[in-house]
Structure 1
């Protein structure tokens, strides 16, 4: 196999691998954002504090109960916390 053909194959593989990673990264952010947006709706236009982002990230990682407890300890109602944490994994 010629060197130029081998280099072209390697570059093509890298392009596909990096392109796939770039396509999957925004999905994670969107789920955490959906959780934060749910809490901000309850705050009626107020910006959610950093503790909300942390709790929503925990929810995205799959720990629903810790997400809910993190949000409720930050002053979010239980109903909104459950809905927001559900949105983080949807």
Structure 2
């Protein structure tokens, strides 16, 4: 294999690997944002309190029940909204 071909192949692989990482990171954040937005629609009171953010990050980590419990016990989010919000978090 020629050196120029080899270098081009390595650079292409590196670009694809780094590009895939960059595209994956915002998606995870978007899921937490979707969770928070779901709760904010019900609360209709501006920015979500800190317990909502904590619950949505808990849901993103895979603890669906913990997410729902934190939302419903934290400040009056209905069970239906909590379940829906926590489903979009992971």
Q: State the TM-score, normalized to the length of structure 2.
A: 0.83
Q: CA deviation at 1:86?
A: 1.5
Instruction: Name segments (4+ residues, structure 1) moved above 6 Å.
Output: none
Deviations 1:18-39 (A, max 9, x none): 1111122222112111110011
Q: Is residue 70 of structure 1 aligned with residue 70 of structure 2?
A: yes
Corresponding pairs, count: 89
Q: How does 1:1-90 map to 2 (within 5 A)?
A: 1-75=1-75, 76-89=77-90
Which sections of structure 2, spanning at least 5 residues, go unmatched? Answer: none
TM-score with structure 1 setting the length: 0.83
In structure 2, how many angstroms separate the alpha carbons of the residues matched to 1:88 and 1:9?
37
When the two chains are superposed, the root-mean-square deviation of aligned CA atoms in Å is: 1.6
State how far apart, in whole Å, the 1-side matches of 2:74 and 2:46 are.
Answer: 14
